[in-house]
Amino acid sequence: MKETAMTLIRQCPSRQAKWRPMRLGGSPSINLKKKTGTATWEVSYDKFVGGTHPQTIAMTQKSGKPIQVATVVGHILEALVQGRPVDLELAAADPPPNRAEWDELVRCSVETGLDVTGDPATSGPNSERFAMKDFLAPIMGNAFALKDYKERTPEESSKLTKWCSCLKWYLALRRVGVEPTFGGGP
């Protein structure tokens, strides 16, 4: 693990202790699958708790079509927000933000005024749905935020993917009331 990684993750011994948030941070999942009555994230979480690595979960979907590891980690982080215990070290298959990235996300929060701890359905601008591209506008630029996804360059898409991964960690930890500390200097 990089020296700049969150201390919280290093305090959670792999496969021995799962970290459970002190408070719940999210709205109940309302996107339930019709056939199973479960939320999409629960499938990934159940496999993860059963000992399957996020990369394996991403590659072995029931549909036969793989998904991104970042998507699986997002599912696992949603489980944390919903109060489920999570081994954060194993969940770090898609790395959490380092200190500089965390500080940039805090800057986005201040500059956009968006409430990352609120209900995603109403915590966006003008009480609209929260959108990652709106929140990340201070990093990505206002011109990017206004672009249709089809107009994005490969470089812009790559940069957005990186920041969305960091943002998923930021959202989950902020929603459960965690302010991480960082090791290894500035």
pLDDT, tens digit (0-9, with 9 covering 90-100), for 38-52: 888 999 999 999 999
Q: Quick one: average pLDDT of 170-183? A: 86
Kindly report the backbone phi and psi dihedral angles of residue 182, in degrees, each rounded to the nearest multiple of 5, phi listed first. Answer: -125, 145
Kindly report the backbone phi and psi dihedral angles of residue 39, in degrees, each rounded to the nearest multiple of 5, phi listed first. Answer: -75, 155
Buried b (16+ CB within 10 A) or exposed e, 28-38: eeeeeeeeeee
Q: What is the pTM of this model?
A: 0.80
Of the ranges 25-34, 45-54, 173-182, which one carries the lowest mean pLDDT score?
25-34
pLDDT one-digit tens code per residue, 57-109: 999 998 889 999 999 999 999 998 888 888 888 888 888 899 999 999 999 99
Q: From residue 16, how far is each of 3, 89, 90 by CA, in Å?
A: 21, 11, 11
* C-alpha span between 55 and 67 (Å, rounded): 9
Would you place residue 16 in the very low, low, confident or very high pLDDT band (cuts 50, 70, 90)? very low
- Structure tokens of 67? 């998904």
Would you place residue 2 in the very low, low, confident or very high pLDDT band (cuts 50, 70, 90)? very low
- Structure tokens of 145? 């935020």
pLDDT one-digit tens code per residue, 115-171: 888 888 888 888 888 889 899 999 999 898 888 889 999 999 999 999 999 999 999
Which amino acid, one-letter code, is at 77? L
Per DSSP, the three-state class of 32 is: strand
Write down the residue that tokens 């500080």 correspond to.
103
pLDDT at residue 76, rounded to an integer: 93
pLDDT at residue 68, rounded to an integer: 92
